[in-house]
Structure formats: structure tokens, C-alpha cells
Amino acid sequence: GHLAMHNRERFEEEGVFVVNMMSSPGAGKTRLLERTLDDLASILNIAVITGDLQTDNDAQRLWGRGAQVVPVTTGTTCHLEADSVSRACEVIDLNPLDVLVIENVGNLVCPASFDLGEACRVVLMSTTEGEDKPLKYPPMFKLADVVIVTKTDLADAAGFDREKAVANIRSVTPQARLFELSAKSGEGLNDWYTLLLDSAPRHFAARESAATV
Ligand code: MG
Ligand code: ZN
């Protein structure tokens, strides 16, 4: 809608790469962000908006890791909308920012229908959730720019069938980039970090100019 368009224009003007991160509850969004901030906040200027029905528990887990974190409680609404993102952005200084990650409410259904003005939609599914999430929630996966299989360290214990999962993801979204990682062991994190580093416009420009000096 109009508000999402307005957000997107603003993010582009300010040179901020905005990620809308979505998954079912417990797929590991907050855990991945904890690790991401620990590893990247010294080289990227990152802010996080955390959406939850109640409590700012996720925001509390992310505070003190070198990024600005703004909790948004949605009350009874099971997704974030462009206007709540716009309001959260009023307390964030967008200008120096490289990356804004919006941790959406844990829900694989309706967040798919709400454009927040993001540049990139990232959908997580964990190895502990089974392989059939893409088949059960096709709209969410269809619109993903990136699908991240999380908790690869637990794959064996969970009896995760990787080939089946990849085939299911590919049957719904042949074009999305696919990352497989563990925020715990660190395996596979480089793909995710490279995406953030390469997509952050200002960071990229700084490296370009440093390279030409
Ligand atoms: Mg969370
Ligand atoms: Zn909803």
C-alpha cells in the first residue's frame, strides 16, 4: 500500500538495507540476530525492530550488542504493518544506518501479506520444524528473497531430511537464495553476513572509495 511505498522511498533515500525477517515462533530469528549483532555490529551500523504480540523479551536479548533495538508490541495483531514500522523508525536515526532488520511476529501466515517497505524478505525454517513448512505455507515462501534453514547443528538429532526440505523449498520458490546455517556453531553464517555486507549501500560505497584511493 501507500505507507509501505513511503517507507521504501525513505529507506532508499537514507541508504538503508531493510530486511523483513519472518518465520514461525521458535525458528531462531532472535538467536540469529544475537549472533549477527555480536559479529557485525562493529563493522555495520545495524538497527533492529522486534515485533511481538506482548513483551519486549526479544528486544531485551538484543540490547547491549552494539545496535539500536526498538521493540514494537502489536497487542492482538499477529503481524507488523507498514505504519507500525514507520512509527518505530521515528526513534531511529536512519541516516547513519547501514542495515535495518525487522524481526516480524512469529507467524508463517499473514505477515506474508503485509509489505513493510523492505528491500529483502527473509524466511527462516529450522531443522527441528520438519521439512514440510514450505508446502504448508506456500505464500510465505513464494514471496521470499532468501530462505534460511536454521539450527543445522540439530539436523541429525531431529532426523531432518535435508534433500526433502530443499526439494520442498525449491518446489515453492525456485528463485530464492537458500542459506543453511547454525547460529550456535557458526556453520554457514558467512552467506548471511555476505548478503548483509554486500547489500548495505553505504558500506559498499565506502569500500569502493577505499579501494580507489
Ligand atoms: Mg524472536
Ligand atoms: Zn496477522
CA 124 – ligand 2 centroid, Å: 17
Would the pLDDT of 213 be above 60?
A: no
> DSSP labels for 186-199?
-TTHHHHHHHHHHH
- pLDDT digits 0-9 by tens, 148-174: 999 999 999 999 999 999 999 999 999
Per residue in 31-88, pLDDT (tens digit) is 999 999 999 999 999 999 999 999 899 999 999 999 999 999 999 899 999 999 999 9
pLDDT digits (tens, 9 = 90+) for 172-186: 999 999 999 999 999
CA distance 86 to 134: 29
The pLDDT of residue 203 is above 90: no
Residue with cell 577505499: 210
State whether the Cα torsion 119-52-108-152 is positive or negative: positive
- Among residues 96, 104, 136, the alpha carbon closest in space to that of 123 is found at 104
Residue 101 above 70 pLDDT? yes
* Ligand 2 centroid to residue 145 C-alpha, Å: 20
- Do the Cβ atoms of 182 and 153 come closer than 8 Å? yes
Surrounding ion ligand 2 within 5 Å at CB are 78-79, 110
- What separation, in Å, do the N-terminal and C-terminal C-alpha atoms of the chain show? 43
Q: How far apart are CA 8 and CA 125, in angstroms?
A: 26
Instruction: Looking at the CA of 57, name the nearest ligand.
Output: 1
User: For residue 1, what pLDDT band results from cuts at 50, 70 and 90?
Assistant: confident
Residue 49 CA to ligand 2 center (angstroms) comes to 17
Choose between 212 and 32: higher pLDDT: 32
Closest CA to 99 of 9, 14, 4: 14
Close Cβ partners of 166 (under 8 Å, ≥ 6 residues apart) = 178
Alpha-carbon 170 to chain mean position: 20
Q: Which of 88, 78, 171, 77 is nearest to 132 (CA)?
A: 171
Q: Give the pLDDT score at 87.
A: 96
CB under 8 Å to 167, separation ≥6 — which residues? none
Residue 104: left if φ>0, alpha if ψ -120 to 50, beta else—which one?
beta
Checking if the pLDDT of 26 tops 80, the result is yes
Mean of all residue pLDDT scores within the chain: 94
Q: What is the value of pTM for the model shown?
A: 0.94
Collect residues with CB below 5 Å from ion ligand 1. 29-30, 58
